[in-house]
Amino acid sequence: IFSKPKQTPFSKARSAPRGETPEAAEWSRVYNLLVSLGDDGLVMNGIHENLLSVKFHDVHLGKTGACLDWLTWADGMLTYTARTQKYDLMPYTPMAALAVRRYVVQPGK
């Protein structure tokens, strides 16, 4: 989730179906991967474990603070969902992973 796949000319041509922009196609691909996994708590725990070891440019710690805010929001959503059993809120938790990805994603090497 922390790195973009390396782009080739062929992958650029096929990465944006149905007239979507490449960014929208990438968000859709990652969102579908997160939803198909089904264990949002596992994803959020993995992001929390690995976030501070990822090297990204953040001199004033604004991105790091925003990422931790998103992780706090996701934890609150997961806790509320488990406590009240309102599972219709579950599709919103992968958005936190997408927001963290937006802050820390690096091009593939």
Tens-place pLDDT, residues 64-84: 899 999 999 999 999 999 999
- Domain boundaries along the sequence of the chain: 9-104
User: 26-47 b/e with 16+ CB inside 10 Å = b?
Assistant: bbeebeeebeeeeebeebbeeb
Contact 4, 107 (CB under 8 A): yes
Tell which residue, 67, 52, 63, 76, has the closest CA to residue 98: 67
Here the tokens at position 71 are 């992780």
pLDDT tens-digit readout, 28-59: 888 889 889 888 889 999 999 988 888 888 78
Check whether 3 has a pLDDT greater than 90: no
